[in-house]
Amino acid sequence: MIGHPSLNNITEFRPNFVTHLECGLTGQRFERGIVHGLSDAGKPLLVKYDLENLGRSLTREMLKERPADLWRYREFLPVVDSANVVSLSETMTPIVPAPKLGQNVWVKDEGRLPTGSFKARGLCMAVSMAKELGIKRIAMPTNGNAGAALAAYASNAGIEAFVFCPEDTPEVNVREIALQGARVWRVNGLIHDCGRIVREGVGPMGWFDLSTLKEPYRIEGKKTMGLELAEQLGWRMPDVIFYPTGGGTGLIGMWKAFAELAELGWIGSRMPKMIAVQASGCAPIVRAFEQGVEFADEWKDAHTIASGIRVPVAVGDFLILRAVRESGGCAMTVDDEAIQLAQIEAARREGILLCPEGAATLAAYWKAIANGSIGADEEAILFNCASGLKYPMPPAEDRIDMNAPVDWIGLRG
Ligand SMILES: *Cc1c(COP(=O)(O)O)cnc(C)c1O
């Protein structure tokens, strides 16, 4: 029988290089190996590694021998015992050239991952750590893809999952969550209202709150996007990264990856400009960026077709803003019309079916080119965070009636 490709080669992950965890704001230290939520300041925890020792036991050369999935970076990951790995084979995702969308445009296509979105990266790590730490019941608010990934990994691990989503979450997401064995409820509110239900249920339901950034390990899973990107580019950085930003896990995770790689000396000190893309109907991070403040206020009346980035409050706001500013990047909005247009153009010109959030990065790229904030020669990576197949598509209604002759002229028109 063929098992998990990484695990065929490796029986144990030990030694593990996690030293401790640290509050992203105050630096407060937390012990490894026990369950954590937020810090005393109510802020996300970041996992810290002994990079010096890591660098002594792992080289870039050694990675070449390993299977093409995210567990190839296990020394950079928190799971201690390989027996606790919960995996559905998280493949490395391709960087697809898209020259018809822009001279130097590349799409990192995360839609190829299990459950059809990059949420698989975060949730395979969070659920593996939950297993390692003995957690038996998990709850989570979701705009769709995170819940789907949780459902899949929790079922695989034999952990109970409770999921709460806004009632207008794409139908396919709600149904895949249910089909994959989680309990799922539609809530007549937005994602932070669902988050409140999860928070308030911790006592009565005894579940672990796996909300975005309220546990430390989803960032580590998403961090593999940055490790993978660096390795795929031959241990150099692109000029600019466009990231559709909701809770910001991926942007924070990639920035953490780049910092760790730079500290190891695996990449140089030149960093990519990180561009946080939000929808004009829900842009708390962009507003805070423009106001020059450290934290983002709640965005009222949030709306956009890009449901994955409809996040009015992000607990990691300061970490997103810090990464964007340190990188010399920016935060920018695109409206739903531009998102739809970008989705159509990518599909027609390149045959690449972007999800709305991925399309938002293309719309932002074009906007940034038009207003001169980046040059056409700059190498730009766009994140297509989910398969376009998971979303409603524009209708296609042409039909042929077999009771009448085929109208060939009509077919051409
Ligand atoms: C979750 C999600 C996002 C936002 O990702 P974060 O890292 O949480 O900001 C973007 N697009 C899609 C499709 C998503 O599911």
Distance CA 186, CA 200 (A): 17
> What residues have CB less than 8 Å from 217, skipping those under 6 apart?
47, 78, 122, 125, 126, 128, 129
pLDDT tens series, the chain, 413 aa? 344 555 544 556 667 999 999 999 999 999 999 999 999 999 999 999 999 999 999 999 999 999 999 999 999 999 999 999 999 999 999 999 999 999 999 999 999 999 999 999 999 999 999 999 999 999 999 999 999 999 999 999 999 999 999 999 989 999 999 999 999 999 999 899 999 999 999 999 999 999 999 999 999 999 999 999 999 999 999 999 999 999 999 999 999 999 999 999 999 999 999 999 999 999 999 999 999 999 999 999 999 999 999 999 999 999 999 999 999 999 999 999 999 999 999 999 999 999 999 999 999 999 999 999 999 999 999 999 999 999 988 899 999 999 999 999 989 87
> What residues have CB less than 8 Å from 291, skipping those under 6 apart?
none
Distance CA 60, CA 318 (A): 32
Which residues' Cβ are closer than 6 Å to ligand 1?
Answer: 117, 119, 145-146, 212, 244-250, 308-309, 355, 357, 385-386
Compute, in angstroms, the gap from residue 108 CA to the centroid of ligand 1.
14
pTM comes to: 0.95
- Mutate which of 109, 309, 317, 361 to test ligand 1's pocket (most atoms within 8 Å of Cβ)? 309
- Beta-strand ranges (E) seen in 167-231 are 183-187, 208-209
| Domains of the chain, first to last | 119-209 (3.40.50.1100), 218-390 (3.40.50.1100)
CA 106 from centroid of its chain's CA atoms: 17
CA 64 from centroid of its chain's CA atoms: 24
Q: Which atom of ligand 1 lies at the shortest distance from residue 251's CA? A: 7
Cα dihedral value 128, 129, 131, 134, nearest 10:
180
Please check whether residue 77 is in contact with residue 220, taking contact to mean a CB–CB distance below 8 angstroms.
Answer: yes
- Of the candidates 388, 359, 172, the residue with the CA atom closest to the CA atom of residue 279: 359
- Mutate which of 115, 123, 145 to test ligand 1's pocket (most atoms within 8 Å of Cβ)? 145
Please check whether residue 276 is in contact with residue 329, taking contact to mean a CB–CB distance below 8 angstroms.
Answer: yes
Percentages helix, strand, coil for the chain, rounded to the nearest 5?
Answer: 40, 15, 40
Query: How many CB atoms are located within 10 Å of the residue 375 CB?
Result: 13
Residue nearest to atom 12 of ligand 1 (CA): 308
